[in-house]
Copies of this chain bind each other. A is one copy, B any other.
Amino acid sequence: MARIVECVPNFSEGRREEVIQALAETIRTTDGVRLLDVQADSSHNRCVLSFVGDLEAVRAAALAAAGRAVELIDMNRHRGEHPRLGAVDVIPLVPVAGLSMEECVAAAHALGREIWERLRVPVYFYAEAATRAERRRLPDIRKGEYEGLKGKLAEPAWAPDVGDPVAHPTAGVTVVGARRPLIAYNINLTTADVEVARRIARAVRESTGGLVNVQAMGVKAASGQAQVSMNLLDHTRTPVHRAFELVRVEAARHGADILESEIVGLIPLDAVADVARFYLRLRGFDRAQILEAKLME
């Protein structure tokens, strides 16, 4: 079976199309990887590339794109709504098939060392690759942002995991890590009352007493419906159907129901198979029984 990793680097450029295309081109021209998606957001002034391949090719492509970003992006001129620390803001590696989280963590550590050695950008490790508990979550690492790096790096508690405690003059620092596939999952309600969506979000998310591995907020969807917008951080432990059913139960309390739901971006095959396992009460269903999955083995 192929050993496949997904890499989803976030760069601090969402406006200059030629820079975004140059970054994408470094991925397209690296042997052994496939660029799946490029998303740029001009208000965030940030772009997100998604690509896959075997571990070594993905590391090479990530390093090449990071090198290009350090050349082309000057953080001293960067403004945008999304919190960020550097030109190459964050590089997560995600195990997709045929390899363990431990192997992804080791690859993240090796990639971080290369980024320091070749590009002289200091690196923090996060998520599964974190070296300390307080560095697991991106929001904690990003506190102070690029503009606060000088003071932050001087604190012993925030010494970088790799490199000198001084930010790169134009590229700041980079955060590298390994994490499980994240599922972006939105549920639209039968009501337009956003307050109902906010209450449901508070009930279902980890931070306020709900499901572990679930982040949620209540927003207004483009269609006008109230929406519970979620990130499912570990579908292997907290599957999609559990979030769906809990939202349904909480919505009923407010006299609302689920109108429809939406997977934003990509979802792993196992997460889809788990939905079928749950609702069809399947016994002994193996993903190798899915014809297309068997073809990939």
Interface positions of A (Cβ within 8 A of B):
4, 6, 34, 36, 52, 96-97, 181, 188, 240-241, 244, 258-263, 265-269, 272-273, 275-276, 279-285, 289-296
List of B residues within 8 angstroms of A272 by Cβ: 272-273, 276, 290
Q: Which of B181, B261, B275, B291 contacts A181 (CB 8 A)?
A: B291
Complex contact A280–B275 (CB within 8 A): yes
Complex contact A282–B261 (CB within 8 A): yes
Known: A267-B290, A296-B295. A280 touches B36 (CB 8 A): no
A296 to chain B, nearest CB (A): 6
Complex contact B291–A262 (CB within 8 A): no
List of B residues within 8 angstroms of A265 by Cβ: 289
List of B residues within 8 angstroms of A260 by Cβ: 281-283
A251 to chain B, nearest CB (A): 12
Complex contact B282–A241 (CB within 8 A): no
Known: A276-B276, A279-B279. A266 touches B294 (CB 8 A): yes
Complex contact B291–A268 (CB within 8 A): yes
Known: A267-B290, A292-B292, A295-B34. A280 touches B6 (CB 8 A): no
Known: A181-B291, A269-B290, A292-B269. A263 touches B282 (CB 8 A): yes
Complex contact B241–A280 (CB within 8 A): yes
Q: Which of B258, B267, B293 contacts A281 (CB 8 A)?
A: B258
A1 to chain B, nearest CB (A): 11
A269 to chain B, nearest CB (A): 4
Complex contact B289–A267 (CB within 8 A): yes
A189 to chain B, nearest CB (A): 11
List of B residues within 8 angstroms of A279 by Cβ: 241, 244, 275, 279
Complex contact B241–A294 (CB within 8 A): no
Closest-by-CB residue of B relative to A294 is B36
